[in-house]
Structure 1
Amino acid sequence: MGDTDSPDFNKARGFLIGYSLVVALLWFFGADLTQFKLMGNEIYLKENIRHVWLVIALINFYLWIRFLQRLPKRGLRFDENMHEALDAALIKICSIVHKRVAFRKAASEGVEKNEGELVNLQLSGVLSYRDELEHERGREFGPTGPWDYSYPYRAKVNFSMYKKFDKNGEIVNSYGASSYEATPNLILYRAAVVYAFLKGVVGLTWFTDNVWPLLFGCLSIGVAVFKWWQINSVVHVTFVNAFNQTLTPL
């Protein structure tokens, strides 16, 4: 059990996933657990056979707890890579939803400054909280990462506007300091979170490293407990029926 109790996170995850997979396969294929091989020797179970699945579930639960104890701090929350995916989704959503309003704002500014007629606008966005993180870096009591921020400030996007004007038939580029702030509504924010989560499930490691082992462990524990309950409920019903038959008068 030395390796099983190792403080190494990867070993704890490996044991949990491996054991949970074996349990799921045993259940799925209806394995006979009254006999098995251990170190090349045939082992036959004779007593408390109907509680084998409960013992399996308890061992699985132990490995589940050991993995949970070794999860990194904030391991069940989005990590930096997941937040970067969420950032990109928020910027994309805001650039689509607010493009028309930003265009009108830039066109109005162009008229006021006599820059001409706006013909093209490009938006380059950055999450406002990222600037604060950079500014607060290294402070003892400052924010430590994206997980310290919540909606709506977490979703505020600051766009730089790159404009092209038609001034007397000549195209003039403008890269001024004008900017546009946008915050998606709560529904769009939650849609971005779902998108980032799905992207993380497929293309990033946060879900498979931290969340999936716990879910898979819960599934295998549930299967083992259900199998134990199923076996013992059948035994109980059989015993009750046999007992009732002994009381039935001939």
Structure 2
Amino acid sequence: MGDTDTPDFNKARGFLIGFSVVVLMLWFFGADMTRFKLLGNEVYLRENVLHVWGVIGLSNFYLWLRFFQRIPKRGLRFDEQMHTLLDECLITVCRLRDKGKAFKAAALDAESDGDKLVKLKMTGYLPYRTQLEEEKDRGEYAPTGPWDYRFPNRARVEFTLTRTINSEGRVGFSHGGSGHESNPSKTLYRATVLYVFVKGAIVHSWFTDNIWPLLIGGVATVLALTNWLKINHFFLG
């Protein structure tokens, strides 16, 4: 039982999830809390039976608190994997939103040279990544990662354009020239972050490592304490 108070993050998470799942099962199936098995022996409770759920709730809260205290720095914020996913989604969203506008502008440029634009390829990147690389040697004032950038700089996307041109009946490629800058609105940015949160919770471990244990532990604690309050008639339920 000494390992219950371990400073190890993974063990703290394991104890919280394991105990919380048991609490949720006891609550869901309406278990008889006056008797249970301990080390293979049947144990019957005779005193303070009305406070069993209170003890369980406080125990679960202790495990929740110990896990919370051991979450790594910035553990509750997007990690590098989640920010990379956000970068990809921002590029895709901005490309879909601005493709028609960029094509129209490129087509007008081509017409001014007597050519016809056949196809336009947009390759996006986020300028803050370049800034992050350039400023990494600033010592204590240097940004430590994408999490140090905020809207609107965090959301700005620049596209390099590759044009397929029909010039005098011959089709060729045109690189460089004017690119295209996209600045999504705060509403669109927040919607993209929300989408990334949901998708990232499925495809990456950040959510299940840091957020999910807090949620399941919090729910189990609240349910246990609510049961205790109901049993002791602190409020009608």
TM-score normalised by structure 1 residue count? 0.90
Q: Does 1:129 align with 2:124?
A: no
Match of 1:24?
24
Aligned equivalents of 2:186 and 2:151: distance in 1? 8
Shift of 1:107: 2.4
Match of 1:229?
229
Aligned equivalents of 1:164 and 1:40: distance in 2? 76
Match of 1:61?
61
Aligned equivalents of 1:106 and 1:134: distance in 2? 31
In the alignment, is the contact (CA less than 8 A) between 1:78 and 1:147 conserved in 2? yes
Aligned equivalents of 2:169 and 2:124: distance in 1? 30
1:144-172 superposed Cα distances (whole Å, 9 cap, x missing partner): 11111111111000100000111100012
Aligned equivalents of 1:177 and 1:6: distance in 2? 59
Percent identical residues: 54
In the alignment, is the contact (CA less than 8 A) between 1:115 and 1:165 conserved in 2? no
Q: Which amino acid aligns with 1:17?
A: I
SS at match of 1:212: helix
Q: Which amino acid aligns with 1:117?
A: K
| Unmatched segments (≥5 aa) in structure 2 | none
Match of 1:208?
208
Q: Which amino acid aligns with 2:51?
A: H
Match of 1:156?
156
- What pairs up with 1:14-93 in 2 under 5 angstroms? 14-93=14-93
Match of 1:119?
118
- Which stretch shifts more, 153-162 or 134-143? 134-143
Shift of 1:177: 4.5
Match of 2:109?
109
SS at match of 1:74: coil
Shift of 1:191: 1.3
1:184-236 superposed Cα distances (whole Å, 9 cap, x missing partner): 111211111111011011111111110010010110001101111111118x9
Higher Rg: 1
In the alignment, is the contact (CA less than 8 A) between 1:128 and 1:158 conserved in 2? yes
Taking structure 1 as reference, are residues 215 and 205 closer, same or farther at Cα in structure 2, changes over 3 Å only?
same
Taking structure 1 as reference, are residues 124 and 115 closer, same or farther at Cα in structure 2, changes over 3 Å only?
farther
Aligned equivalents of 1:137 and 1:76: distance in 2? 23
Q: Which amino acid aligns with 1:105?
A: A
Aligned equivalents of 1:97 and 1:124: distance in 2? 14
Q: Which amino acid aligns with 2:129?
A: R
Q: Which amino acid aligns with 1:163?
A: R
Aligned equivalents of 1:43 and 1:189: distance in 2? 56
Aligned equivalents of 1:210 and 1:138: distance in 2? 30
Shift of 1:115: 6.4
Aligned equivalents of 2:177 and 2:133: distance in 1? 20
Shift of 1:109: 3.0
Shift of 1:104: 2.4
Shift of 1:36: 1.4
SS at match of 1:107: helix
Aligned equivalents of 1:64 and 1:40: distance in 2? 27
Q: Which amino acid aligns with 2:26?
A: L
Q: Which amino acid aligns with 1:136?
A: E
Cα RMSD over matched residues? 1.6
In the alignment, is the contact (CA less than 8 A) between 1:57 and 1:225 conserved in 2? yes
